[in-house]
Structure 1
Amino acid sequence: MIQKELKNGSLSKKKGVNAYILTINSYEGLLLVTSLINGNMRTPKIYALYNLIDWLNLKFEEINIPKKYLNNSQLDSNAWLSGFIEADGHFSVRTTTTPKYSRVECKFELSQRQNDHNSRSNLNFLEIIAHYLLSSVKAVRVNRPNPEYRVRTTSLNGNLVLENYLSTFPLFGSKYLDFKDWIKVLDYF
């Protein structure tokens, strides 16, 4: 869908996983993607964009692309979070049945490594997401080589915020079906 919309790039299947890579090499394609995402980034990946902008400005004298700042708009003002959920979100329903105590939980979870490959922290933007979902960021897998941060909805109200958001900015991939099943269970609450 992205390749069709951009009218640029080539697709290749990533080995060993159910994923594809969209590669854009043309001058026009690079300028298009740069103009579309410049000013809309919320994560440390903005520094990779800045490197691309520096390269484009140096390589092609006729252009002078400004480096726009991180997007600090409210999360519910655009579909950025929806795309992030599509990539890394997880909807779950858990049941516990014991003779004394039975329980059903509806949760949403998003995990990211604590630091990216350039040692930049992912904590700031995850705290913004957690705050929006009425939750908090928790350090997990701290004894492993790549510790992570996790945001998990822990309340009905947080789940309802997410339901409302994804009703406004729907998912488009396979997670859409996960979300629809999750909503069926959430509606019982």
Structure 2
Amino acid sequence: CPIILPALNLAVCGDLSVMTTFMLFSCSDFWDNPQVTSQNFKFVRNLNDCAPGLSNRLSQLLLNLAPYLAGLIEGDGTIVVPTSERSAKGKLNYPSIQIAFAAKDYPLALMLQVLIGHGSISKRTHQAAYIYTINNFQGIIKIVGLINGFMRTPKNLDLLRLIYHINHKAPTLNIVGLPIDTSALGSNAWFAGFIEADGSFQVRTSLSTKYPRLGISFELTQARVNHDGIPSLRYMTVIAEFLNVKVNSIRNDRKYPEFRVRTSTILSNTILVDYLLAYPLMGTKCMDFKDWNTIFDYFVAGTEWANVNHIVELKARMNNGRTEFNWTNIH
């Protein structure tokens, strides 16, 4: 199953120019490799000739990289700050920033790696997932410079710890850690990055019950408290108010209860659609959103039952059901 994805000029980390070449590789090239870098793949043809739509998407990513990356890290990232100079075995401890990706989003991880110009991508053992890790000093400085001031969750405390660590190691840098971003949620691409990590587009097709039902929703869940014991209710409330919905408590009887935000009305779904058209998703979740939005259009027009077969077909290829990934037509 061939996948076409972009390959960026490594100079992009300096001038943020849009890349001009394509990379072509097969699924087996990356499913089986424990360590994957851009050198593994063959560069072919010109991006604008092959997929002008993808070029537009990369332009969007470059424009919105800082807040999008902050949201992605706050959803699926980990900021590691060593608490001691050396390990028990005497090895030096280094800070790192790690972002987890489902295997199907490897092209997104690669895109970010080359845009940022630092870090490595490794495959998780016995898991369909990859980890993009930045642990060199220059790379960490670059990530900090991008996301500082765009964080919206308590993970900003981890970033501030990292900045303190950097300033201790290199006092001349004197990086000023910025507070949580309180600007309007719809004003930048942070929410798109957060959705990329933790959002889910859902379609309900209960057709064999006594009272058949069709439904469409978007869901985002978060643990009620983070590793520092800080509640997530504040930022989940900001998201809920933006979407004109409420925060609900779920899994109350479990060890790790959660908060959930879910859209279900025409109004709340329209707010989400308008936002994601302004600040697009960049990974395979964009493909799910496209199918979900097609179904949503049927609900807006009141023609969902007339198009029930198409809805069932689209639902079957969304989320875990998606087996084909067309990165050249993601917009």
In structure 1, what is the equivalent of residue 148 of structure 2? 38
1:138 pairs with 214, 239, 248, which one? 248
Amino acid at match of 1:102: P
2:274 pairs with 164, 171, 176, which one? 164
Matches within 5 A, 1:17-96: 17-96=127-206
Cα shift at 1:100: 5.6
1:105 pairs with 208, 215, 232, which one? 215
Unaligned runs of 5+ in 2: 1-110, 300-331
Report SS of the residue matched to 1:2: helix
In structure 1, what is the equivalent of residue 120 of structure 2? 10
In structure 2, what is the equivalent of residue 177 of structure 1? 287
RMSD of aligned residue pairs (Cα, Å):
1.3
Q: CA offsets per residue over residues 116-163 of structure 1, 9 Å max, x none?
A: 111111111111111111111101011111111000002110001101
Amino acid at match of 2:158: A
Name the stretch that deviates more: 8-17 or 40-49.
8-17
Structure 2 Cα separation of the partners of residues 119 and 81 of structure 1: 23
Report SS of the residue matched to 1:93: strand
Structure 2 Cα separation of the partners of residues 175 and 17 of structure 1: 19
Structure 2 Cα separation of the partners of residues 16 and 145 of structure 1: 26
**C-alpha distance 16-107 of structure 1, shift in aligned 2 (>3 A):** farther
Unaligned runs of 5+ in 1: none
State how many pairs are aligned. Answer: 189
Cα shift at 1:25: 1.7
Amino acid at match of 2:222: Q
Structure 1 Cα separation of the partners of residues 250 and 210 of structure 2: 30
Structure 2 Cα separation of the partners of residues 18 and 135 of structure 1: 33
Say whether residues 1:153 and 2:263 are aligned partners: yes
Structure 1 Cα separation of the partners of residues 139 and 209 of structure 2: 61
Counting aligned pairs with the same residue, the percent is 44
1:117 pairs with 227, 241, 257, which one? 227
In structure 1, what is the equivalent of residue 297 of structure 2? 187
Structure 2 Cα separation of the partners of residues 161 and 130 of structure 1: 11
